[in-house]
Amino acid sequence: MHERYESPLSSRYASAEMQYIFSPDKKFSTWRRLWVALARAEMELGLPVTQEQVDELAAHITDIDYAKAADYEKKLRHDVMAHVHTYGDLCPKAMPIIHLGATSCYVGDNTDIILMREALLLVRDKLVRVLEHLSKFAEKYKALPTLGFTHFQPAQLVTVGKRATLWMNELLMDLEEVEHRIDSLKLLGSKGTTGTQASFLELFEGDHEKCRELDRKVAEEMGFDATVPVSGQTYSRKVDYFVLSTLSGIAQSASKFATDMRLLCHLKEVEEPFEKNQIGSSAMPYKRNPMRCERICALARYVMVDAVNPAVTSASQWFERTLDDSANKRLSVPEAFLAVDAILNIYANVASGLVVHEKVIERHVLEELPFMASENIMMDAVKKGGNRQDLHERIRVLSQEAGSNVKDKGLSNNLIDLIAADPAFSMLSREEITAHLEPSRYIGRCPAQVTDFLCQDVQPVLERYADALRGEDTELSV
């Protein structure tokens, strides 16, 4: 066990549910379900397939002899035919009709579509759970003023809850993409070796309608409304590109959140959960590194780069089929899903346990608030007879002095003291000047924006996917 490489996505990060979707058991049992669906449809459309044969196949969907399949593949050098023979050994009566008229992509490509759809459903549910955690956080802190940043320089105030809605809005955009992918995925169906359905047309003795009906029956049994309208031997590899682009979008949103959190952790304003016995550094016992958010960023980077794979694969397909897609998609598609699954597991964990240090946030706000209040102070002075241009110049000069005190001398921001002592502002009392140092006066519509967003945009999603909220978050293994 310990002498062979094992993907960290399996051993450390991804959930058991997502790993199962891309497991050999799920893959090859789905192949067998597709063979059952094909045999049943062919029987119903009049081919020499019996109910007894269909029943025999249906009875042996999950009892897969992997050692025997490996032996067959070593001999035949063909994975699909290895499993045909392995299945046939269990189903001797049905052996003559397994895979009748089909090519390898009938099981391979249709299974890939089925697994991607199931994986997207799991991703969708985990996205919803992250949204629920963030919605509670946004509601709780919707009115707590905090420094807004542009260019990572202090800007006008926002609120802690309003900032969370920015993270949530991107996740809602991702959710829409996931929903679209789930709804738009189509099976390849039974298209034959070059997409012409020639083998099935031969089996049905030239009956085109039976060829169409075969596709419909297989799709229905596998839970799909439709198959692709035209294809070569495979479904268009653009489908893989679209799916991984959707996953890349989730990775981008998560990385943005995690990067913001890493910066907030540096500011000591908001931190990710830190467990009682957790060690932040092997050398520095005091450290509280944002390792979970750093892991999100690391895995997100992998997904964003991995999404290039299907783009190149799609662009390089030759005519009706070439095999340089196979080895690549065996890696790129499952691992993108495993990585996004891990990202969302961590995201949910962090979002459900965010630690807000309100006093630190308040201190940072008050350090910058005099600069933000200066315009309002100037307006009050103008109302009492001051010259706007002269007052603007005095505040500019005083602001530079206060800024120098902070940056060059390490002193506190004394802009309010400087303004109060300046003769140009003698028309205002100190109380009138300091009255502008109330943070809630500078957050605009933040609380109302949070309330509107949660009610109008988030709550309908949480209600639509209420079932996804009933379970527990995946426990992190490391």
Q: How far apart are the first and last CA of the chain?
A: 19
Q: DSSP 3-state assignment of 264?
A: helix
H/E stretch holding 444 reads none
Exposure of 181 in the CB half-sphere (CA atoms within 13 A): 29
Q: Are 168 and 294 in contact (CB under 8 A)?
A: no
Where on the phi/psi map is residue 412: left (φ > 0), alpha (ψ -120 to 50), or beta? beta
Helix ranges (H only) for 204-237 are: 208-221
Cβ–Cβ < 8 Å for 248, 176: no
Reply yes or no on domain 360-442 having CATH 3.40.50.2000.
no
**pLDDT per position as a tens digit, 30-83:** 999 999 999 999 999 999 999 999 999 999 999 999 999 999 999 999 999 999
Q: Long-range CB contacts (< 8 A, 24+ apart) of 9-12?
A: 9/335, 9/338, 9/339, 9/342, 10/338, 12/477, 12/478
3-state SS class at 411: coil
Assess contact for 446 and 166: CB atoms under 8 A. no
Chain centroid to CA 368: 36
Count of C-beta atoms within a 10 Å radius of residue 109: 23
Q: What is the greatest pairwise CA distance in the chain?
A: 104
Q: What is the pLDDT of residue 464?
A: 97
Q: Which residues, in sequence order, are bridge partners of residue 159? A: 145
- Tell me how far apart the alpha carbons of residues 110 and 189 are, in angstroms, rounded to a whole number: 7
Q: Is the C-alpha dihedral spanning 218, 223, 225, 230 positive or negative?
A: negative
From 22, 217, 214, 30, select the one nearest 110 (Cα to Cα).
Answer: 30
Distance CA 127, CA 468 (A): 9
Element (H, E) at 442: none
Q: How many CB atoms lie within 10 A of CB 466?
A: 11
Structure confidence by residue, pLDDT tens digits, 235-290 = 999 999 999 999 999 999 999 999 999 999 999 999 998 764 454 554 554 457 89
Helix, strand, coil fractions of the chain, as percent rounded to 5: 65, 5, 30
The token pair that represents 306 in the structure block: 């991995």
Catalytic residue annotation:
151, 281
Specify the pLDDT at position 195.
97
Task: Name the pTM for this structure.
Answer: 0.93
Could you give the CA distance from residue 43 to residue 195 in angstroms, rounded to a whole number?
Answer: 22
* Phi, psi of 163, rounded to the nearest 5 degrees: -60, -40
Beta strands 145-150; 153-159: pairing state: antiparallel
At residue 476, the pLDDT reads 82
Which fold, 19-32+39-97?
Fumarase C; Chain B, domain 1 (1.10.275)
* Angle, CA of 358, 362 and 366, to the nearest 5°: 175
Q: What is the pLDDT of residue 169?
A: 98
Which two three-digit tokens encode residue 450? 């949070």
The answer to whether 271 and 263 have CB atoms below 8 angstroms apart is no
| Helices 79-90 and 104-140: angle between axes, nearest 10 degrees | 100
Structural tokens at position 132: 């629920």
Q: CB–CB of 338/18 below 8 Å?
A: yes
Beta carbons within 8 Å of 225's beta carbon, 6+ residues apart: 186, 219
* DSSP of 142-195: TT-EEEEEETTEEEEEEEHHHHHHHHHHHHHHHHHHHHHHHHH--B--S--SSS
Q: What is the helix (H) or strand (E) element at residue 76, kind and residue range?
A: helix 66-76
Beta-carbon count within 10 A of 318 CB = 9
Q: Which residues contact 116 (CB under 8 A, 6 or more apart)?
A: 185, 240, 243, 333, 337
Nearest alpha carbon to residue 178 among 121, 109, 235: 121
Q: Residue 101 has what DSSP assignment?
A: T
Domains 19-32+39-97 and 360-442 share a fold: no
Q: Report yes or no: 456 and 169 within 8 Å, Cβ to Cβ.
A: no
Q: Output the CA–CA distances (angstroms, integers) from residue 211 to 32, 39, 113, 201, 328, in the order listed.
A: 21, 14, 21, 6, 32
pLDDT digit of tens for each residue in the chain (478 aa)? 689 999 999 999 999 999 999 999 999 999 999 999 999 999 999 999 999 999 999 999 999 999 999 999 999 999 999 999 999 999 999 999 999 999 999 999 999 999 999 999 999 999 999 999 999 999 999 999 999 999 999 999 999 999 999 999 999 999 999 999 999 999 999 999 999 999 999 999 999 999 999 999 999 999 999 999 999 999 999 999 999 999 999 999 999 999 999 999 999 999 998 764 454 554 554 457 899 999 999 999 999 999 999 999 999 999 999 999 999 999 999 999 999 999 999 999 999 999 999 999 999 999 999 988 888 899 999 999 999 999 999 999 999 999 898 889 998 899 999 999 999 999 999 999 988 899 999 999 999 999 999 999 999 999 999 999 987 788 887 6
User: Tell me, what amino acid is at 47?
Assistant: L
H helix or E strand, kind and range, residue 356: strand 355-356
What residue spans define the domains of the chain? Answer: 19-32+39-97, 360-442
Give the span between the Cα atoms of 23 and 25, in whole angstroms. Answer: 5
